[in-house]
Structure 1
């Protein structure tokens, strides 16, 4: 196949520009800080009552994300089966995009008196974000030749980081200039929804409509899970892909949890001021742009799986350093500059491992027209990993009383992921 025109490629990458503002501004920076502030108590015990139960506020945040991701993971097989058979990936991508944008904008109304509304809007935004990504990712093998997929995948992530940093700076300026910091944050949530909705129109106007791949039989529920089973049976017969996905499943537990919980770690455990946390996250994004491009070059030289193995080892070192940073903070030391060092380290590998993971899967999957079903399987694997990872992170904190113990669990996830990547590399060499 031939790579699509530059207009189509840039249009596809613009969706990263559109939706990454949610991932950075809401889940990574402003919303975790705002959520802890709104749900915090004057006594400083970090407890909040919700649905008749008392939660540690940061754990409730983790649980809400886990439930949102679980809902979408369950829906994936059904939605992508419909998208493949009817050739309407774009329509489903548009539906989830609008859902996410609406959820983000609705967070404007989230205050200490409207916890239920805030939780519902946050779940809606998260479901829209992850739901649209499966259809976005499924376009990659349709518009890019195999030899171009690493480069084009990296372009998407780079667009996303640049766009989200711009929105991040807008939010930061609002907080600096406005007296009411809470209102400034809520206006930022509203702007994220508007940004996401508006820039996504460029993508929807340029992406082609996918061709239908099967007969419409009307048995949506059964056909959806039959598609996942079909992909699973194909993957079982492909030794390299099978082992790669097992590795991806485990290291994704660690990667995604670090990204989702990093701000909670800096705010709650280290007590960093909000403005410094925001600056740290902007620094992560800027470093990540260079990291994504550099990792695509390394993969061209050394091979995707080898580079991924090296990156996973680097993630293990980051987790060890984070645990030691928490120990320093608990003993009364200043962990601020150690956190900044961790932020740079995370930025170097954050975007690269996501971009390379996506393009590696696109390379290893068989030549097929059922791209949405195959990427549904990929995204189902990733979202299930996030559910387990973020739930374990919150649960361990609740049970042990310290977030630093949750960090240790991530090391185990990365170690198991490394083992399966090594196994995939051995099989690839034999093949």
Structure 2
């Protein structure tokens, strides 16, 4: 019997088949968690919490831990608090994850706890804004924690040559799943009268559906992934928390050995902050500056979601041919064109606004998906969760820079056009830093296999 190529003794190598099976299961976590990020965090939570807080307001103010806060500012303060807390907690969680084989249990556990707290938003009504604040903070913390474990698992289920494709498909699944549920919820909220319910009930049911979606589809990666023993664990004494602090301290001291990964991380913080601010400000720009109805802007938001599916897949294919770094740089150049074009989009002209939305959809998923897979090449085996925890923690800890610039420019100019154009600085700085990243050196420093295309 003639041995099959690459398989000693004539035994076929079934590892690629097993990896593809796990990869398909892994994609579904992006499909699952996107329900929270789109339906709840992206669209419905903020306006609904404001309406509930307004019911409790006296002279347009509510008392938050002794501070007098306007109801309209409550969602921003809630998101900021959750973001800052997660920036401190995520690195410790990453250290825990790297010391255990039970990564899929941690992924699913945080997802299910997050979904349970997200489901509590259904019970937020009347003037009970406090429940909404607590439920969202815990759900958002769990969302970030689960994302750390999910990104670390990417390194376990995909070889270096596969990661751009696998990461891009995961993002595509996410945009498809999040967009599908958001479309259903959009119809439910829009036609709530025809369905015999109030708008508040429609919003609450929509947020509950996102929680159930998140929890339910998380069973697919939980059942389909397999655990692997940790690698290169730093010896330490004490309980799990003490040992994890020891691992974290060792990683912090060792960061200087991976200057390429650090350079990319700083570059990512800049251009990702620009991306997140454009997305967060797009609805405000469409309603306040261009004069569109909220329903129109939400419909355009759905267009972005579904175009992003094909954008992520297209960027993944391009990266297989040209390398992730080159494709990310092209994406950043398109982002620069987008914020420049935003200066000139005429008011109440839907076609130019749609063109801008399609352009955003094309680059949105692609740049984020490739950033995840590119960073995975620059970090050492056995510390994936820790490095991805820094990746997410630093992203969250600095996510206010873009919104601060946007707000300051608007304050000075009284126009959203120069405010959104000012974000070009984040793409310029991020792109310039990315140009300095030596991909081949970074992969060698981390001890990873060199992909066929760098």
| Band the TM-score falls in, shorter-chain normalisation | 0.7 to 0.9
Indicate the RMSD between aligned Cα atoms, in angstroms: 3.1
Deviations along 1:23-49, whole A, 9 cap, x unmatched? 1112223334545665679xxxxx764
Distance 2:403 2:240 in 1: 30
- Equivalent in the alignment of 2:435: 422
- Equivalent in the alignment of 2:389: 376
- Equivalent in the alignment of 2:35: 21
- Equivalent in the alignment of 2:293: 273
Q: List gaps (5 residues or longer) in structure 1.
A: 42-46
- Equivalent in the alignment of 1:342: 356
Query: Cα 1:255–1:363, aligned 2, differ >3 Å: closer, same or farther?
Result: same
Query: Cα 1:101–1:397, aligned 2, differ >3 Å: closer, same or farther?
Result: farther
Deviations along 1:283-340, whole A, 9 cap, x unmatched? 1111101100111122222221121112112212222333444xx5xxxx42544432
Between Structure 1 and Structure 2, the one with more helix by share is: 1
The alpha-carbon deviation at position 151 of structure 1 amounts to 0.8
Query: Cα 1:219–1:78, aligned 2, differ >3 Å: closer, same or farther?
Result: farther
Distance 1:410 1:67 in 2: 23
Query: What SS does structure 1 have at the residue aligned with 2:228?
Result: coil
1:322-341 → structure 2 map (5 Å cutoff): 322-325=342-345, 333-334=347-348, 336-341=350-355
Query: Cα 1:87–1:426, aligned 2, differ >3 Å: closer, same or farther?
Result: closer
The alpha-carbon deviation at position 277 of structure 1 amounts to 2.3
Larger radius of gyration: 2
Distance 1:395 1:64 in 2: 21
Does the CA-based 8 Å contact 1:66-1:386 persist in structure 2? no
- 1:140 aligned to which of 145, 154, 171: 154
Work out whether 1:76 is the aligned partner of 2:94.
Answer: no
Query: What SS does structure 1 have at the residue aligned with 2:91?
Result: helix
Does the CA-based 8 Å contact 1:231-1:377 persist in structure 2? no
Number of residue pairs matched? Answer: 418
Distance 1:372 1:146 in 2: 16
Work out whether 1:208 is the aligned partner of 2:226.
Answer: yes
The alpha-carbon deviation at position 421 of structure 1 amounts to 0.6
When the two structures are superposed, what TM-score results if normalisation uses the length of structure 1? Answer: 0.86
The alpha-carbon deviation at position 344 of structure 1 amounts to 1.2
- 2:304 aligned to which of 262, 284, 295: 284
The alpha-carbon deviation at position 154 of structure 1 amounts to 1.2
- 2:368 aligned to which of 354, 363, 382: 354
Q: List gaps (5 residues or longer) in structure 2.
A: 1-12, 445-454
When the two structures are superposed, what TM-score results if normalisation uses the length of structure 2? Answer: 0.82
Higher relative contact order, chain-length normalized (CA < 8 Å, sep 6+) = 1
Distance 1:230 1:324 in 2: 51
Query: Cα 1:117–1:395, aligned 2, differ >3 Å: closer, same or farther?
Result: farther
Query: Cα 1:125–1:322, aligned 2, differ >3 Å: closer, same or farther?
Result: farther
Query: Cα 1:91–1:393, aligned 2, differ >3 Å: closer, same or farther?
Result: farther
The alpha-carbon deviation at position 189 of structure 1 amounts to 0.3
Q: Which deviates further from its counterpart, 165-174 or 399-408?
A: 399-408
- 1:318 aligned to which of 331, 335, 338: 338
Q: Which deviates further from its counterpart, 252-261 or 230-239?
A: 230-239
Distance 2:297 2:117 in 1: 24
Distance 2:54 2:329 in 1: 40
